[in-house]
Chains A and B, each alone.
Chain A
Amino acid sequence: MGLAIRTFLIAVLFALLIFILGANDIFSIKDDFSDFALEDSQKDVVVPSNNNRDAFFGDLHVHTRYSFDAFIFGTTASPDDAYRYAKGGAIKHPLGFDMQLDDPLDFYAVTDHAAWLGMIRAYADPDSKPGQLDFASDLHGLNNPENLNTNTFARRAGLFANLITGELIEPSKNPLKILGAYLQEDTIYGTMAYDRNTHQSAWRDVAEAAERHNQPGEFTTFIAYEFTSSGPGQSNLHRNVIFKGSKAPIQPFSIIDSRNPEELWDWMDNLRDLGVESLAIPHNSNGSNGQMFKLVDWAGNPMDDDYASQRMRNEPLVEITQVKGTSDTHPLLSPEDKWADFGIMNNRVASPFYSHPKGSYVRDAYLRGLSLEAEYKINPYKFGLVGASDTHTGAISDKESDFHSKVGILDGTPELRGAAPISQDLRDRLEEAGGSILVNGILDIDGKDYIDTGYTEWGASGLAAVWAENNTRESIYEAFRRKETFATTGSRIKVRFFGGYNLKNILQEKDPIKYAYAQAATMGSDIIQNNDTAPEFMVWALRDLKRAPLDRVQIIKGWTELSGKPHEKIYDVACSDGRKANPNTGLCKESRAKVNLNNCKISKNVGANELKTVWQDPDFNPDLKAFYYVRVLENPTCRWSTWDALKSGEKPREDLPSTIQERAWSSPIWYIPDNEGITTGNILPDDI
């Protein structure tokens, strides 16, 4: 009896001690960070600056062999390979063909999934410690050369479906490991399948590869990863976390630590206090079933100012387009927008369920932000825009005529992407495997059978672009923070956008850009009310000389009545070939540009190489909050599915769009009436 009481007392004292000292402060590895800078990195390089800023194009969303799914898709490309590709080199697709860009990119960030980073690759190696776990035998040798072909499609699809929900997340049965996980606040440590060495050394390779390839003035990399969380019913809440410099945590915060993005922001805030600056970029809001841009917080309570400030402090940008669809708007949200049907992915990410559009698209989020402001709240949705690929092969695929999509062996051929009819061979193999969650069945289109995977909704998209003084981490990261960013679906369209007053004659200035930087608001920032004067906007777009000419430049305006009721309107502000907008509709006639669907050739001498104008809002009401962003549309060109069919000697599927209009979107400029004393949601961390 005495012994029991003594043991109990000691246990209580011990628990009390941990409580008082704060177990997490003592043991947490979450706050541990490291400086990954290479010893002899060129810190003293002076890179010339352009005060008028240059456009730089890149991708902040790239997976390599360390991502659990990418490895299952057959990817063996390392972060080094990914960076080599971005700089113009050729790397291999899992199916063995070469992938190479027409022109190198200016910046790139490898963003592997933090959860199980590097682990699947280790399970597949029977000699590694993780490879000796029972369930790992299913993975042994998965990406050996003899398995890198479409014969392994069914095996991979099966692994993808079962593994993630099964043994991987089983908690360890070892109580010491559980206690260790609790004390270190490191949940993954408490799972049966986890091996800290494998995980941390994969992360170290990701970080060090970024350091190895960063060349100030020439090519910029960022240490980065993806926080792959989802809300109820597989509603997508994924974000990429981008670190500003060489300092980064020794282990990335993942879904296994928490599904709640607010806890990710807490962690980022905490690291920022320790001198490790980062930002997060949500993506595939289109597949979030309304969860990405909700009107309540994670717990379902109304948003307060702390929530909005924290969100804006950590998430200044959002991905508007990528392979898995475009999240500008949806035909149900914007019935008046003739171009709203572009890149629509109907379902949630990796799920057969419909994703409801409300709260899932960026234009709707901007409007929701204004409505929240009408309730005297801080706007949590005042973000800028970037595009990305989300490739899982290390190599982006943003060219319709040379599309290799993003999930490696699962969609590496026209047949697997559903653009060419299914062969008997693939059909037999699928039947043998007894179906899979990745294949919904077979579609009969015009008497021919196609595999039905949903990949036909995907697109050859996109790129992130910034206006920055030079191609260095500092300059590009600051452009992210200023939201002086724009997004494209792959074409390197350049778009300038400034708003303010006294801009009427800006295009007659000797140096309009210098004038604009001195006098006007840049994309991503605010115009403040100036009596009752309607603001003016300077828009200037330049085509990609290697793609199609421009069709038109539009300004998309959204505003709310004083009650908070939202409205939107599209204005064609500049159109090619002398077309002018009809004052009633605000739109120009359709362009004469045509596409020959037998060979994908486009009309010559139709369209513009550049479009520029100064536009003043004809429907301006000085008392109402509003935002304005630019959408640039190229002339129509063949969609990847048309190219795929032609290259396979087949007729393009009639149920798919045969052409698309590549496009670019600027970050918005917000108009702030001065009748309110509230903050506007432009929240910057104190010291970045």
Chain B
Amino acid sequence: MKQRLFIFLILGIIILSADLMFNDESEDKITIFESEINSLIGTWVDQVGREPTIQEIDGIIKQLLDEEILYREALKLGLDKNDIIIKRRLAQKIGFLRQEADSSLPSEDEVKDFYNQNIDKYFVGKRITFSHIYFSENGSNKSDADDALSLIRSGSNATDFGEPFLLGKNFSAKSIPEIERSFGNEFSEEIQNISPQTWSGPLNSEYGSHIVFVNSISESYTPDLEEIKNAVIGDVILEKQNNAVNEYLKELRSKYQIEILADLNATSD
């Protein structure tokens, strides 16, 4: 503790003397804050592995001052202008800052607005709940499915017919792409036209024919915000991060008049 105080005392003297040395004109005043020095000392400790001596702290500060002086002189001479590295560095920095600025959790209103503006994104397609009786290509005759259908319609028990199917008999709330994945395109198209609550068919799948009982078709809908809030929050965060720089640029572009002085046909040779 005592040592720290002593270091700061010395620092104070150095800063004061530096201050006196450069303080003849106010625009040439260089102020160095304790936090800056502490941060540099911290980096020094991380790299070297011990506390710097007073002489070394002196060196660190001198280097900081020299860098600051050269930097200001370079600015005075306009060396920052038209330097592609500096340009890129600054552009990058403001980009990062904009991204960082928007990494916080979105507000209720933001979430609501995003949901309303992107409502199509949350659209939930049609879902069908159905049962089927399966007649394989090899295991049955062509007419078996038709025969079974008429018998079931006239009162026979549906479970007396057909063959087992690997994915089972009953399918609950399946989307059209899911049905297509399991039965093929033709089946997934045709099942949408079947009227519910009656045995129908037969429909052809990639595996054979099926007589089908559609229990219900839930029409497509858009869920309320409350149902899918976490998903929306995630989307807002991503959108904000992706768009932070673009939005900012858009805002700025309008402030600038742009003139491109180049003959592109000539340079592309």
Contacts and interface: CB of A to CB of B under 8 A. Distances in A.
Given A174-B45, A492-B181, A213 B164 contact: no
Interface string B230-251: 1101100110000000000000
Interface in A605-620: 609-610, 612
A558 B177 CA distance: 40
Given A125-B96, A127-B96, A612 B166 contact: yes
Nearest to B177: A103
Contact of B93 (A127, A173, A212): A127
A438 B136 CA distance: 52
Interface string B141-183: 0000000000000000001000010111100110001001111
Given A52-B168, A545-B206, A213 B234 contact: yes
A511 B164 contact: yes
Given A540-B166, A542-B167, A545-B206, A40 B46 contact: no
A621 to B, nearest CB: 32
A174 B93 CA distance: 31
A144 interface: yes
B49 A512 contact: no
B49 A173 contact: yes
A41 interface: yes
**Which of A78, A103, A172, A174 has its CB near the most chain B CB atoms (within 10 A)?**
A174
B230 A175 contact: no
A474 interface: no
Contact of B168 (A42, A507, A513, A546): A513
Contacts of A512: 164
B87 to A, nearest CB: 12
A134 interface: yes
A198 B190 CA distance: 54
Q: How large is the interface on A (under 10, 10 to 19, 20 to 34, 35 or more residues)?
A: 35 or more
Contacts of B238: 78, 80-81, 84
B181 A174 contact: no
Given A174-B46, A542-B167, A40 B184 contact: no
A140 B50 CA distance: 27
A413 interface: no
Secondary structure at chain B's binding surface: helix, strand, loop or mixed? helix
B166 A494 contact: yes
Contacts of A52: 168
Interface string B42-84: 0101111110000000000000000000000000000000000
Given A48-B172, A174-B46, A609-B207, A40 B164 contact: no
Interface in A529-588: 540, 542, 545-546
Contact of A212 (B159, B207, B231): B231
Nearest to B139: A507
Given A212-B231, A510-B159, A510-B164, 14 more contacts: A38-B230, A40-B229, A81-B238, A103-B181, A173-B50, A213-B231, A492-B181, A509-B164, A511-B169, A513-B166, A542-B166, A545-B183, A545-B184, A612-B166
Nearest 9 interchain pairs by C-beta = A173-B49, A212-B234, A512-B164, A174-B49, A542-B166, A609-B206, A540-B166, A609-B207, A52-B168
18 contacts: A40-B230, A52-B168, A80-B237, A103-B177, A127-B93, A144-B92, A173-B47, A174-B50, A175-B49, A212-B234, A215-B231, A496-B166, A513-B166, A542-B166, A545-B180, A545-B181, A545-B206, A610-B136
